[in-house]
Amino acid sequence: MKLFGFCKGIQKLNLDDVTYSDMYQGYFAKFYDNLVANDDFDLDIYEGLFQKENNKILELACGSGRILIPLLDKGYDITGVDLSEDMLDILEKKCHMKNLNPILFKDDMCNFNNGIKYDTIILSHISISLLNSKLQEELFYNISNHLLKEGGIFIFNFTDFSRKLMKSGELKPHYYFNNRNQSFAILFEQVNLELKKVLVNLYSEKTETGNVKRYIGTSCKNIIDKNEINCFIKALSLNLINEKCVETTEGFIRFYVLQKMSSEK
């Protein structure tokens, strides 16, 4: 667990009521779900890139269903994979409320293989940045060799740091307040350009039955190197057939659409 700044200071206080976890587990799984509940800016982008009929879709790192549930609700044939059991529990509960029956797997997307090849694979919400270079290469290999049909497409996105000036150091924190459950959270990010990483710390307090509970979550995002990604693509039977860049509150997000080439010459 890599802490810095404010969260490291809290840790040094040795408080008894602080719970530490990964940002996608336990308390923070539900927090994350609430945070991205209305974040659907990219849903239309995905739907504009593939058809509904005769299209078997796989969403990697599906989380709590931000993309999967709306597509399932519209009648798409979509399967989800995620490593976080807490996230999948939230997704299943939300689907149950909508009378939806998703096909879900708890697995690592870098080596997931259920024996089915898909027409479309989605990896949304810059989730590829959770993987280091070695794991990114393993992911592309797994998709190309085990998961994607010939002619199928793989869509993913990442933060394009080349579109904005960036230097190493701690970024301005983001604040989140929830009046319904008397909680708040502060998101801290520390950029290390030399290591090509962004450390993420999340501090939250929630009042329950008059008592304040404190939570600290951590994560690490990798700054995506487009040259490395392009090398992975060229080494496998994948072609970059489309790309676009969208400006969001989180910065510039670049979408890549890859297609698996036919083995026939």
Give yes or no: residues 104 and 174 share one domain: no
153 and 60 share one domain: yes
pLDDT per residue as tens digits for the range 175-206: 998 887 789 999 999 999 999 999 999 999 99
**Residue 265 domain-assigned (yes or no):** no
Q: How far apart are CA 58 and CA 118, in angstroms?
A: 6
E strand or H helix at 141: helix 133-142
Q: Indicate the angle between helix axes 133-142 and 226-235, nearest 10 degrees.
A: 30
pTM: 0.91
- Say if residue 135 is in the same domain as residue 185: no
What residue numbers bound the domain in which 45 lies?
Answer: 35-159+225-260
Whether 30 is covered by a domain: the verdict is no
Say yes or no: 206 and 252 in one domain.
no
Count of structural domains, the chain: 2
**Cα(129)–Cα(197) distance, rounded to whole angstroms?**
9
* 250 within a domain of the structure (yes/no): yes
Q: Using the predicted structure, report yes or no on whether residue 146 has a pLDDT greater than 90.
A: yes
How does residue 152 score in pLDDT terms, banded at 50, 70 and 90? very high
Same-domain check for residues 81 and 184 = no
**Contact of 52 with 74, CB cutoff 8 Å:** yes
pLDDT at 180: 78
Residues 114, 171 within the same domain: no
- The reply to whether 73 and 204 lie within a common domain is no
Amino acid at 114: N
Position 264 scores a pLDDT of 61
Question: Does 233 share its domain with 109?
Answer: yes
229 in any annotated domain: yes
In a domain, 42, yes or no: yes
| Residues 190 and 255 reside in one and the same domain | no
| Burial environment of residue 117 by CB neighbours within 10 A (0 to 12, 13 to 18, 19 or more) | middle
pLDDT of residue 252: 86
User: To the nearest whole number, what is the mean pLDDT of the chain?
Assistant: 91
Confidence of residue 165 (pLDDT cuts 50, 70, 90): low
Same domain, 126 and 242: yes
**Quick check: 135 pLDDT over 80?**
yes
| pLDDT single digits (tens) 238-265 | 999 999 988 877 678 999 999 998 776 4
Question: pLDDT digits over 99-113, tens only?
Answer: 999 999 999 999 999
